[in-house]
A and B are shown apart, each in its own frame.
Chain A
Amino acid sequence: MSAFHNPLAPKFGRFKAKSAEIKGWVRELLELHEDTSLTVAELACRDEGCPDIETVIGILEPSKPIITIRVHSMMAEVTKLDVAEAAQKARAA
């Protein structure tokens, strides 16, 4: 096997702990019920107007509009302060 950096390596499990940590922060900061579903994803999108990489958090409550929180950094680097600031922006929007 030749040695080279593989940017396509499957991501399964890589972000599991970080995703759980971010969800915990969101629940605490926004005082969400334990039953509220959250989604966390690291996206790399080349569409015009999109940052190269960002972490997108969706708050999915039945029969309510989805609230989207965006942090413009890799998931591994997201801090609780980032989430708090982004959540504040999302609330204000």
Chain B
Amino acid sequence: MTALDRIPVTVLTGYLGAGKTTLLNRILSENHGKKYAVIVNEFGEVGIDNDLVVDADEEVFQMNNGCICCTVRSDLIRIIDDLMKRRDQFDAILIETTGLADPGPVAQTFFVDEDVQSKTKLDAIVTVADAKHVLNEIDQAHEAQEQLALADIILLNKTDLVSEDELAEVEQRIRRINPTAQIHASERCKIALEEILGRNAFDLDRVLEIEPEFLKHFHHHHHDDHVTSFSLLSDAPLDPQRFLQWIQTVSQNHGPDMLRMKGIIAFENDDDRFVVQGVHMLLEGTHQRPWKPDEQRTTRLVFIGRGLPKEEIEQGFRECFVQEGIAAE
């Protein structure tokens, strides 16, 4: 099986009642010509019209003495193992998590296990949020924040229940948690499916390809969020050896709290952009494409996590410069 043959997997998360099952049923009922294998929890409780539905039992496997970074979902490994024996029956896999599930181990399963990684590829984490209730959920539940933090795509649902001002406030609050996700507003999960499926969000080629708010300055309200984000920018070129050593140290020291990290790096004497991404301790990085002649060679890094020490990380980043010149937002 080549990289192109790997089955795309979309993870649907979202807090209780946000509309995950509505979205799932929309995906399954639209006439797109694709067949999906669906992995759900408690599928007996909701009607899902699909031939290939598998019930997951949310069994986690801590591969390394309780280390959160090495925790995967063993039920998914088993299910995917079994599904691959029926490979000809579907084109892609959808995983719906429970409203209170931590999507971290789900994502890690697609990077830690060799076989899962060789047969499937995580396409995107899609988080559905209820526009009317998500602010309260963010305030009340860490799970809600972490589901937003891990998302590549956030479907802000039930927007008909809020005013334009309320919607803007919700978007701004979500942006503080996750500045890199694409946010789509919807009513009853009505969205063009190409906006959420086949996104290749974990491909290094697409790291920060769409960066809607990346370079904007955020309005910092005083919310004591469990999960926050910050970005580091610099026009000064970085030393590759120092940077690669430093980013590994950051992930090793702060991996349990580092939910997502993405970056585009400008190395000294290097005509190609270097891209990195991480989920907890799992880091990937590679050269991407040449810098364009008129493109500003700016290094951009986004960290999303639980109480990450911004000043310490910023200082370490500064020490990777060939010369000084940092701006942090």
Contact = CB atoms under 8 A, between A and B. Distances in A.
Interface residues of B, number: 43
Given A4-B241, A8-B276, A50-B67, A16 B74 contact: no
B115 interface: yes
A26 B220 CA distance: 54
Contacts of A58: 61, 63, 74, 77
Contacts of B186: none
A43 B286 contact: no
Nearest to B281: A45
A23 to B, nearest CB: 8
Contacts of A4: 240-241, 244
A75 to B, nearest CB: 8
A32 B63 CA distance: 20
A68 to B, nearest CB: 7
Interface stretch (B43-51, B266-274, B302-310): B266-274
Contacts, number: 105
A13 B3 contact: yes
Given A41-B112, A49-B65, 7 more contacts: A6-B244, A8-B247, A11-B284, A12-B117, A19-B114, A20-B115, A47-B65
Contact of B70 (A13, A45, A60): A45
Given A8-B286, A43-B64, A37 B81 contact: yes
Given A19-B114, A19-B115, A60-B61, A2 B67 contact: no
Interface string A72-93: 0001000000000000000000
Contact of B115 (A11, A40, A46, A66): A40
Nearest to A4: B240
Contacts of B65: 47, 49-50
B316 interface: no
Interface string B58-73: 0001011101011010
B244 A7 contact: yes
Contacts of A37: 77-78, 81-82
B16 interface: no
A44 B283 CA distance: 11
A39 B241 contact: no
Given A2-B270, A43-B112, A10 B70 contact: no
B208 interface: no
Given A8-B284, A8-B285, A41 B78 contact: no
